[in-house]
Amino acid sequence: MDANGTAARRRRGAGADPKGTTGRVTRRRVRTRANLLDAAFEVFAARGFRGVTIEEVCEAAGYSRGAFYSNFDSLEGLFFALYQQRGDLIADQVAEALSIDVGLDVSAAVDRVTEALPLDRDWLLVKTDFLSHAARNPMVAQTLSQHRARLRQTIADQLARPAAEGVLPPGLGDAAGAARAVMTAYEGVTAQLLLDEDPEGARAWLRRLLTGLLTAGSAHTARPAPDDAAR
């Protein structure tokens, strides 16, 4: 086979399914997809999903339309993949941050939850766009609901012991109810952040709000350890 035939064959291989290709081609495809997602995140945050074209994403990433279509079937498909990628990453980061059991210390739980929940303005802009898109598309809404449920469960796990011991305000119900209240407060604060553009102020307000929410009517925010109580 001549050089031109070999080059054409390689081009066709670069657009094929990664399964069965060489490691080099697979790595290139993975890198291309990652670069397209990174560029899309910046463009969507700056312009909004409805204000972006495939050409603009390709230009920002430095790729052709052919590279785009070898990874995504549409702009909506890219948007969906971007939300899944970022949503999974954030859920993993929150789960890792909240993996330490704080026992009955609600104040410590509030600190960990507040620091773990993302308050990145660009992500919030993209997420808000996705929420609006999901409200009009039941299939997309299902994915959004799954990611939200995962975050709520992670927070509920952190609050399970205080809830079981009656440390949390009874009006919140069980740990799942408390986690839902935390998410509601978080989403309210993030909406305000988009207007104020003050991440540190938003995080401080979120901490105060969650402290009041999770300790309202409670006689204490933490109980002494058994050894301390015996002294």
Tell me the per-residue pLDDT of 97-151, one tens digit each, with 9 for 90 and over. Answer: 888 877 788 888 899 889 988 898 999 999 999 999 889 888 889 888 988 999 9
Res 68: pLDDT: 95
Res 143: pLDDT: 85
Max CA distance (Å), the chain: 87
Q: Is 103 left (phi over 0), alpha (psi -120 to 50) or beta?
A: left
Q: Are 180 and 213 in contact (CB under 8 A)?
A: no
pLDDT at 199 over 70: yes
Res 79: pLDDT: 94
Q: Average the pLDDT over 9-27 and give the result.
A: 48
Give the ranges where the chain is alpha helix by DSSP (H).
Answer: 3-14, 23-47, 54-61, 65-69, 75-97, 106-116, 121-134, 138-164, 175-196, 199-215, 226-230
Q: Average the pLDDT over 184-202 and give the result.
A: 89
pLDDT at 15 over 90: no
Q: How many CB atoms lie within 10 A of CB 219?
A: 8
Residues 198, 117: Cα–Cα separation, whole Å:
15
Q: Are 207 and 93 in contact (CB under 8 A)?
A: no
Burial level of 18, CB count in 10 A (0-12/13-18/19+)?
Answer: middle
Band the pLDDT of 13: cuts 50, 70, 90: very low
What is the model's pTM? Answer: 0.73
Q: What is the mean pLDDT of the chain?
A: 82
Q: Is 29 left (phi over 0), alpha (psi -120 to 50) or beta?
A: alpha
Res 215: pLDDT: 86
